[in-house]
Amino acid sequence: MKRSIKLTPLVPLLFTALIFAIYVYREKAHNYFRFSEQVYSGPVDFSYQEQSKKLGINHRTQLFISAAPLENYYAMAPAVDYVSAGDLDNDGYTDLIYTTANPSEPLRIYRSLKGKGFESVEDAWGFAGEKKKGGMVYATALFDFNNDGWLDVFVARDGCHDLYINEKGQNFRSAGEETGISKICNKRVTGISILDFNRDGYLDLYFTRLFGDTSMTGGDDAGVTYFIPRINKEAPGAGKNYLVENVGGKSMKVVENSGLDNGWLAWAAGITDVNDDSYPDIIVANDFSISRVYINNKDGTFTNRTKAALGLQYNSANMSLETGDFNNDGKVDFFVSNVSRSTYASNSYNYLYKKVGPEKYKNASLDVGVDRCGWAWGVKFIDPNLDGKLDLMVVNGFFNDGNKPYWYKWSIYGSLPQYLVNSPDVMPPTRGHTIEGDQPSCLFMQKNLRQKMDL
């Protein structure tokens, strides 16, 4: 009698061995990726110059590095470098607020000196108390909370948040307790979007969050399984997004059961009228998944209409999102930045969603040539040459500490069975490696939307 050999238990091991073999081969074949392989370039008739120090913006963002057991992983705090811009003292000039990832100096606020420079005014304007609270500030939002004509400042902290009321450009008063905002406590806010979801005339807020409130650096959850989430699957440790209602300029509260929890790793959101009913809808950019489109039901709830709006278009590494009418047809489009490489992330690229009708978008990124920009992060529609057409500024690059590629290691470990990769300390060392640090940013001009400029 012949004996049969069962190979089923060996299949996972054979598959893992094959993946590692491919990794070793490809790392040797592509030692160091160069950005010029990916995008078209062309001349422009203007230039930019770095002027931060000259104008008085002199702080440095503190890098969040190597907190055990993350020493074998690029240790990055979500939204550690966040900037908000607005005229805080109504003098006609734009002021700036930066987060720094430094608990001892979490905010830097720069008042514009009538366009000739900036001065640091966080203490003089009443924000000195932020230094005493400890922890990081992840994001800020400038909006007129009480409709008095002056921009107030929402501060999303590593813990309970705060709202600073603008006292006519002379001082800012902490109003977290009296407005109920100090009762809203959640960590790792990656973005704050401003909208009036119920059209009552008062501005509301929507928080996007990457991870939940548990720590990734030790404690009871040191081995949590959300370390490397599965592609297009709900992440068990994803942060719950929040819709916060402004109640008559007197208080703020979380809107329960809004349908906007999301459940994925969210980096950013865009506000636009998707279905042309004059109510603001929300589009969320999710990492390790696709963008989600949420339609406003006009009753404090939202419905996920992603498939109807975007069809089967797939973008799996969303980093940022920007809305704007790039072709001046009266319909608001949106752009989603993604991670892409010509060698081994060729299926992931930026998406420019052109609105073709109510609740209907078409991907136009390949048609106009804005699909590639490396490891793309922040994006903004701008008009640097003042020709009335929106251009695209895409900021990219990530983790540069040497000239050995780390992407392969990340890709391989991300494709392994979850039980093998359930803790950060199994990752290979990052020191001496680069992920995408060698890449310049992209400026795509409307002339042909295929021009790149190294800033």
pLDDT class of 133 with cuts at 50, 70, 90: confident
- Please report where in the chains the tokens 């905002």 appear, as a residue: 181
The phi and psi torsions of 442 (rounded to 5 degrees) equal -115, 140
| Greater pLDDT, 363 or 449 | 363
Q: How do residues 279-332 score in pLDDT, each as one tens digit?
A: 999 999 988 778 899 999 999 999 999 999 998 766 667 889 999 999 999 999
State the virtual CA torsion across 307, 311, 313, 318 in degrees, nearest 10.
-30
| Cβ contact 381:335 at 8 Å | yes
Residue 32 · residue 438 · CB < 8 Å: yes
Q: What is the 3-state secondary structure (H, E, C) of 288-356?
A: CCCCEEEEECCCCCEEECHHHHHCCCCCCECCEEEEECCCCCCCCEEEEECECCCCCCCCCCCEEEEEE
- Token pair of 393, please? 């500024």
pLDDT score at 262? 75
Q: Mean pLDDT highest for which of 153-162, 394-403, 422-431? A: 153-162
The top-scoring range by mean pLDDT among 234-248, 373-387, 417-431 is: 373-387
Torsion of CA 277, 282, 288, 289, to 10 degrees: -20
Closest CA relative to residue 443, chosen from 33, 37, 34, 48: 48
Backbone angles phi, psi at 111, to 5 degrees: -90, 130
User: Is 90 exceeded by the pLDDT of residue 203?
Assistant: yes
Residues 297-316 as b/e (b if ≥16 CB within 10 A, e otherwise) read eeeebbeebbeebbeebebb
Supply the pLDDT for residue 399.
Answer: 55
- Answer yes or no: is pLDDT of 396 > 50: yes
Cβ atoms of 97 and 107 within 8 Å: the answer is yes
Q: Return the top range by mean pLDDT from 68-72, 213-217, 270-274, 438-442.
A: 270-274
pLDDT band at residue 429 using 50, 70 and 90 as cut-offs:
low
Picking from 188, 212, 239, 213, the residue whose alpha carbon sits closest to that of residue 77 is 188
- Does pTM top 0.75 for this prediction? yes
